[in-house]
Amino acid sequence: MELSKEQCREIIARRVAKEVKEGDVITLGIGLPTEVANYIPHNIHVIFQSENGMTGVGHRDLSAPENPKVINAGGLAVTTRPGAVFFDTSMAFTIIRGGHVDATVLGALQVDEEGNLANWMIPGVLVPGMGGAMDLVVGAKKVIIAMEHTSKGRPRIVKKCSIPLTAQHEVDMIVTERCVIDVTPQGLVLKEINPNFSLEKILASTDANLIIPDYLTQKAG
């Protein structure tokens, strides 16, 4: 079965949401990672932090005026949740770099076997700037990469990143529509597979070596 882009995004966001625990301070990247918030159960209290200067980020505020005074890091007007706080950029990065964020969820262009991450530029093609991403991956206690497994059919989980890095050895977990991977000192460990995909197909669409626990080969066999 071929999954649509929307289905892929929902599978990824739902799975990442399961990693979130009561009381966690979470920073979500722009795009797919933002959707994780939609799948966190209402009985779990989470503090969403945004690098532009707030905790307690709520939903998008479609009633906001043309030039709103409360935005998220993507520039969109948002609401505040009970307990929300505003602060300046200096405080935002004290929170981010100082180890006060429990988990960050970000997209990636490439992730490699050593947990190196490239997600901020493609030389000569795309140079948007790193924004707060370099600080986030260095400072957050847990770095979760949420992305579609391949880009235009090409693997994104590679042996070694070929484009400029965002940070070295900082990724802890990779969640795609096909599988969940833990980054360990021994290498990338395949943790779960989406039953819609065979182990062979996952391996064929992954450039990096994956360590496959026995329980997955038995299930697949």
Partner 1 sequence: MKKIISVSEAAKLIKSNSSVMIGGFLRCGTPVKIIDELINNKTGNLTLIANDTSYPDYDRGKLIVNKLVKKVIAAHIGTNPETGRQMHAGELEVQLVPMGTLVERIRSAGAGLGGFLTPTGIGTMVEEGKETIEIDGKKYLLEKPLKADVAIVYATKADKFGNAFLDGTTRNFNPVMATAAETVILEADEICDEPLNPAEVTIPGLFIDYIAV
Q: Which residues form the catalytic set?
A: 51
151 within 8 A of 108, measured Cβ to Cβ: no
End-to-end CA distance of the chain: 19
The Cα–Cα gap between 80 and 84 comes to 6
164 near partner 1, judged by CB under 8 A: yes
Q: DSSP 3-state assignment of 38?
A: helix
Closest separation between CB of residue 90 and partner 1, Å?
5
Q: Which x/- pattern over 86-115 shows residues binding partner 1 (rule: CB under 8 A)?
A: xxxxx-xx--xx------------------
Question: Which residues are 49's β-sheet partners?
Answer: 27, 55
Q: Report the nearest approach of partner 1 to the CB of residue 201 (Å).
A: 33
Question: Under the criterion CB under 8 A, does residue 176 sit at the interface with partner 1?
Answer: no
Strand ranges of the sheet holding 103-106, from the earlier edge strand across to the other edge:
78-86, 54-60, 47-50, 25-28, 103-106, 142-146, 173-175, 179-184, 187-193, 210-211
Name the one range near partner 1 by CB under 8 A: 13-21, 40-48, 166-174, 211-219: 166-174
Total residues contacting partner 1 by CB under 8 A comes to 40
Of positions 128, 153, 185, 195, contacts partner 1 by CB under 8 A? 128
122 contributes a contact to partner 1 by CB under 8 A: no
Residues 6+ apart with CB under 8 A from 71: 52, 77, 78
List residues near partner 1 by CB under 8 A. 50-54, 67-71, 73, 75, 86-90, 92-93, 96-97, 116, 124, 127-135, 138-139, 164-169
